[in-house]
Amino acid sequence: MAIQRTLSIIKPDATAKGVIGAILARFEAEGLRVCAMKKIHMSREVAEGFYAVHAARPFFGELTEFMSSGPCVVIALEGEDAIAANRRIMGATNPAEAAEGTLRALYADSIGENAVHGSDAPETAAVEIAYFFAGTELH
Ligand code: ADP
Ligand code: MG
């Protein structure tokens, strides 16, 4: 295992529910440190750029509409094995399949509106962090 960085996004459904603090507290309790964080409202174009890898998927329109429907909190997290740790804390994409106590089991409404994003690999984590943060903003 190694110290890694990963990108988390608290999605518009979760910011609307008032669970930003609960989600941040969970990350910190699990040993993930906040390197950088900001609240943003993505334009449709910014959401499309972020999820470009999913452009051919049938849910791309729904996904980018949702992600630009309200504010998100974007967070660069750092810690031991942070990418897998964050995925474990998040739970499965579909909240109906997410393990008990995971963020998606606790806070997600549906497979589309599922509370949080987390990078899935070191390469995507680096690209996703750089999409929202300059190197000088990461501490
Ligand atoms: P994850 O966020 O768990 O890595 P994916 O990368 O497969 O999941 O999908 C990206 C996002 O697209 C999901 O978090 C969810 O918001 C949305 N999504 C995935 N599958 C569906 C689906 N079948 N219907 C609607 N939205 C979906
Ligand atoms: Mg993914």
Q: What is the pLDDT of residue 1?
A: 78
Both ends of the chain: CA-CA distance in Å? 21
Kindly report, residue by residue over 84-93, the tens digit of the pLDDT. Answer: 999 999 999 9
pLDDT band for position 136 (cuts 50, 70, 90): very high
pTM equals 0.99
21 contacts 93 by C-beta, under 8 angstroms? no
Q: Is 131 in the pocket of ligand 1 (CB under 6 A)?
A: no
If one counts every other C-beta atom within 10 angstroms of the C-beta of residue 27, the result is 22
Measured in Å, residue 112 CA sits from the centre of ligand 1 at 6
Measured in Å, residue 23 CA sits from the centre of ligand 1 at 19
Output the six-digit token pair for 19: 């669970």
